[in-house]
Amino acid sequence: MIKTDVVIIGAGPTGLFCAHQLGIIGLKCEIVDNLDKIGGQCIELYPDKPIYDIPAVPECTGEELTNNLIKQIKPFNFNFHLNDRVQELRKENESWLVKTTNNKEFITPNVVIAGGVGSFEPRKFPTKSAEKFDGKTVLYSIKDKSIFKDKSVAIFGGGDSALDWAIELSSISKVSLIHRRDEFRGAPASVQKIKELSEKNKINLFTKYSIKDVKGNGSLEGVEIKSEEGENKTLKADYVLGFFGLIMQLGPIAEWGLNLDKKTIPVNTESFETNKKGIFAIGDICNYPGKLKLILSGFHEGALAARGCFKYARPNEKYRFEFTTASNTIKNRLGVK
């Protein structure tokens, strides 16, 4: 059980800057994120895309922004809990008990939800029949490639994950690669390699096809694919792999008794607290009149939520506003002279 002042859900730019603001006012926090790296959408969706509307930064990429935010909170030595997701929030006396998928437990007066549009999860096949094999022979990520040795593997997708795995597995498995159009969005070198392997019959390439049905009773036997013209083919397959990128799912957040408006959480604009005392929401996931889904708005929301957390974390102290330029207390916290 970890005792802290604030648990932040989401390590995107908004969560990171909120952590900074908590550090500045002398509070501790723990940051949980479902992804395996820090940065949220900035890192997962557009690490290389330039962003032009961060105040005083004319241009930077999602990755640069993330790295700078990480650097900015370094003096505070906050803990990150990556590859983990907050599953449960439960009121315990005046505090919140926070439980994660990896069975970590936190006790805290404050939870800040900076979860974007929810957690990233693999996009799955649209076919109902794929569900009963999910996690066994229908997979959306690979942990141990040795299970595919000498097996027939049908890989769906046109991005780098699909291409890289098709190339990698072509040496140990019988690989079919199926994609809905002729163009691939993966790296040009990988696309070239796929074409070569296809010419050498090391990969069976099916473009302009998509999944129709997964075949097999009990165990997976094959996969039926369809073209837009309505032509069907059945491929033998021991494993079916789908690489369609990630989607954002609100997930367990929907079950915590918070007021929800579509997929967003209404908040007050004074402290960004939700309808539950001690639970705050900032960034893309929060909603209030005039809300803009901009990173800069997330920064502002995080700064105010941090002050909102103070009164529950230090009920007997009065919060005093200070400038970083003038306050020695803050400079000590930052470790600067």
Residues that bind another protein (CB under 8 A): 41, 45-46, 117, 123, 126, 157-159, 179-181, 183, 185, 210, 228, 244-245, 247-249, 263, 284, 293
CB 202 within 8 Å of CB 186: no
User: Please, what is the minimum distance in Å from the beta carbon of residue 45 to another protein?
Assistant: 4
For another protein, give the closer residue by CB, 172 or 294: 294
CA distances from 333 to 30, 285, 327, 330 (A): 17, 30, 10, 5
Q: Is 41 helix (H, G, I), strand (E, B) or coil?
A: helix
Q: Which is nearer to another protein, 121 or 221 (CB)?
A: 121
If DSSP codes are grouped into helix, strand and coil, which group holds residue 51?
strand
Q: Concatenated DSSP letters for 282-297?
A: -GGGEE-TT----HHH
CB 243, CB 159: distance < 8 Å: yes
Q: How far is the CB of 228 from another protein (least distance, A)?
A: 5
Residue ranges in the chain assigned as alpha helix (H): 13-24, 41-44, 62-73, 160-169, 188-199, 295-313, 328-334
CA 170, distance to chain mean position in Å, is 30
Which residue's CB is nearer to another protein, number 169 or number 211?
211
Minimum distance from residue 337 beta carbon to another protein (Å): 42
CA distance 10 to 101: 14
Nearer to another protein, 163 or 309 (CB): 163
Question: How far apart are CB 121 and another protein at their closest, in Å?
Answer: 9
- Rounded to a whole number of angstroms, the minimum distance from the CB of residue 87 to another protein is 21
**Nearer residue to another protein within complex by CB, 30 or 284:** 284
> 63 or 221: whose CB is closer to another protein?
63
Q: Shortest Cβ distance from residue 294 to another protein (Å)?
A: 9
162/148 Cα distance (integer angstroms): 15
For the chain, counts of helices (H) and of strands (E): 7, 23
